[in-house]
Structure formats: structure tokens, C-alpha cells
Amino acid sequence: MDDASFTGGQPDPSHEGPLSRAEAAQLLQRADELLAAGEFADAGRHYARVVGTDDASITAAALLGLGEARYRLDDDAGALSDWQAVVKLPETPSTYPAWRNIAAAQVRAQNLRDAVEAYRQADRRAPPADKPEIANRLGWLTKELGDTGAAKRYFARGRGDGLGIPVSRIILAVTVVISLTAEISIEGVSIFRALALDKPAVADGEYWRLWTVTLLHGGYLHLGFNMFALWIAGPIVERWYGPGRFLVFYLACAAAGSVASFAFGSDRISVGASGAIFGLFGLLLAAGRLHHPVDRQSRAIVGQLGMIIVINLFLGFAWAGMIDNAAHIGGLLAGLWFGAIIPPTRIATLSSFWQRAGAGAVDRVSRPPPAVPVLAVVVVAGAVVAGLVYGTAIREGRRADADGAARVAIVEAHVAQRPPDW
């Protein structure tokens, strides 16, 4: 081939012979320009010339473009054939868009079952920003096919619910069942003994109580208030961050609240999910004020959280003997930390909304480096460990003082009972 035809002027697809990688790339770029300009027939000729190049990624891109050109020229069968050829090649960047195009072509042809399979293949390769859209399309297709169960699951994924039932609702249900069982069951005392935040037991190594305490409550009113708060705040956190991170936040804030109670609270046994709930409140407050999520559904609720937190902390100080304010403050601080350092990653924020979207997707969501959420969790975990060490030392000191006082009392009792000549 005459290399001059590529180095000067436009590349000519009529030249015969093998193509170098650079020549194929030039033809592919020119084909893309022609396709964008609406010159579909010329674009198709350029794409067809590149097909068969030794580089699988270039051949796949050419087949993808050739299918698009044929589709624009109303050659649906030819377009589908080209896109199917793409997915038979080794995996390339063109594989994902080819599966999406195949799915759309099958929908147009009313081959819904083939469309479902193609969208499932696309979903396996889709970037996170595209997954909700694909899930919704799968929802509509499976609904049309009469599979309502699958449709509900796909629509739930499209909303970001993940499991179909929000994780916050699952936690709420489990908490209600265990709390009510402990209240009304004849085995209720045993349940409280096993799960409550018993500070001396934690000092002896029963660390599971940092989390199981959230499953018990001191009466129906306490349970009702906490579960209502979880019902309101939980889905917002899931919508902003996703179910996986919601679960991490809930458990971390619960541990932080329990450790604060263990290290700085009284020796009284504690129950309740208040530490975790305050953590969710703190997270929403910090994320809402610092990152400004674009979420009309929760704007009114999040805007009132500051006053709700202040009122509840005041009540905690006013009724210090009845309310474990140390747990509230510990959970709140953990939540504020998470909300400040980790921006919402499932919805747009004012800063991410104006960012340039990634190639091929308009995601408009924050994507913090993976080290950021890891760092946030590590810091809270470190604080929990430090609180356990401090609280254990405090309680061991109290135990030693109590043992010393008991020994003194025994000696004094013996002295009081000594015989006159002793």
C-alpha cells in the first residue's frame, strides 16, 4: 500500500493489501468521523476495510462501527450480524457496547428472551454507572415475559436497593423480632443476659456485645422511637451510599457507640440501637452539609437532623440516669466522620454533578479513591480498639479497688471479733 495516502490527506479504503496498526487506526478514526457526520455508507466502507486486522481490539471496534452504520442504513439483520461477530472475538472494550446493541436489536425484533440474555451479558461487563439502567431494562423485559419475581428484583437493583428489600428494613425487622421476644418470652431474661452491653462481660472479652446490644430495647417506647428513626434514616443512607456501605456504617457506628458507653459510661447494663441510629444521623448531617447531595426526596428530613440531634443530646444530659448519652455521642462522632470524609457514591452531589462524565456514561457521581473509605473505617476501628483498651483498664482498676476494699472489710470484721487477750 502507498503509505503516502495515509500520511497526507484522508486515508483511502480502496487500497488493497495488509494494513499496519497505524493505518488501521487512521481508517477507524476517519470512519468514526464519517459516522458522526451522517455519511453512513462511506463510514461503512471505511469500517469494512479495517475488519480482519490482526489486532482484535481494532477489528472489534470496526465491526461495532460497521454494525452502527448498517443499522442507520436500515440493514437491521446486517447490523445484528456485525455485533454478534464482536462478542465472538476475545474480550475487548467493544464487547460491552456490542452486547447492549445486540439486546436493543433483539427487543426491536420482539425476541425478548434473547434480549434478556444479551442484557445479562452486558450487565456482567457494565461500569457501575450503567448498571441501574440495564437493571431497569431487564425489569421491563422480565415483566413482559411474565416473570414478576425477577422483574421486582431487577427494578430493586435499578433503584439501588440491591437485595430487593433494603438492608435497613432487614435490620429493623430482625431488631423488632428479637426485642419483642426478649420482652414477652419466658426466656427473655436469658436473652438480655446473652446480648446486652454488660460492661464487666465486655472487659472479660465478650466483644460481640458491642453489636448485639442493638437488638434489645428497654420497653416498647424505646423500641418504637429507635425503629421509627431507622425507618426514616436507613433508606436515605442506602440511597446515597448503597446497601453494602450502609451495613458497614451501621455496624461501625454501633461499635463506636457501645465502646463510648463501655469506656466513659456508667457500670449499668445498656440496651438499644441508639448509638447506631445517632451514627446514621451524624453521617447524613455531615454528608448533607459538606457534599450537598442532589436528592429532593430527603432534603426536608436531612435539613431537620441538626435540631433533632441537639434535642436528643439535651434529653440525654437531662436524664443521665436513664439515657446512655455516651453511646449517643460515640455513634454520632463516628457518623460525622464517615459523612465528612466519604461523599455519597450512589447519587449526584453539587460537586460531582458538574464533573465531566466518564466515557460512554453520564454517571455524575463521586468516585473517591478506594483508600478513602478504607481509611475512614480503619480510623473508627482504631478508636474502637483504643476505647476497649481504656475501658478494660478502668474496669480492672475498679475491680482491684473493690477486691482491696473487700479484704479490708474482712480484716476489720476479724479484728472486731477478736478475743480480749488477742
Q: pLDDT, tens digit, for every residue of 25-65?
A: 888 899 899 899 999 999 889 899 888 888 889 999 999 99
**204 and 198 in contact (C-beta within 8 Å)?**
no
Residue-range domain boundaries for the chain: 4-159, 167-389
Q: What is the pLDDT of residues 274-325, one digit of tens each?
A: 999 999 999 999 999 998 887 777 777 887 888 888 888 887 776 666 678 8
Q: Please tell me the total number of residues recorded for the chain in this structure.
A: 422
Report field, pTM of the whole predicted structure over 0.75: no
Phi, psi at 349, each rounded to 5°: -115, 170
The CATH topology of domain 167-389 is: Rhomboid-like fold (1.20.1540)
Residue 362 has pLDDT above 60, yes or no: no
**31 and 62 in contact (C-beta within 8 Å)?**
yes
Q: What is the pLDDT of residues 226-262, one digit of tens each?
A: 999 999 999 999 989 988 899 999 999 999 999 999 9
* 168, 258, 261, 274: the active-site residue: 274
Q: Please give the pLDDT value at position 71.
A: 93
* 291, 328, 352, 366: the active-site residue: 328
Contacts 24+ apart (CB under 8 A), 262-267: 262/197, 262/199, 262/202, 262/203, 262/210, 262/387, 262/388, 262/391, 263/326, 263/387, 263/388, 263/390, 263/391, 263/394, 264/326, 264/391, 265/199, 265/324, 265/326, 265/327, 267/199, 267/200, 267/395, 267/398
Annotated active-site residue 217? The verdict is no
Q: Please give the pLDDT value at position 419.
A: 39
Query: Which secondary structure element, helix H or strand E, spans residue 27, and what is its range?
Result: helix 21-36
DSSP string, 331-357: HHHHHHHHHHHS--SSS-BTTGGGSPP
C-alpha 6: how far from chain center: 49
Q: For the domain bounded by 4-159, which CATH number is listed?
A: 1.25.40.10
Residue with cell 455496624: 251
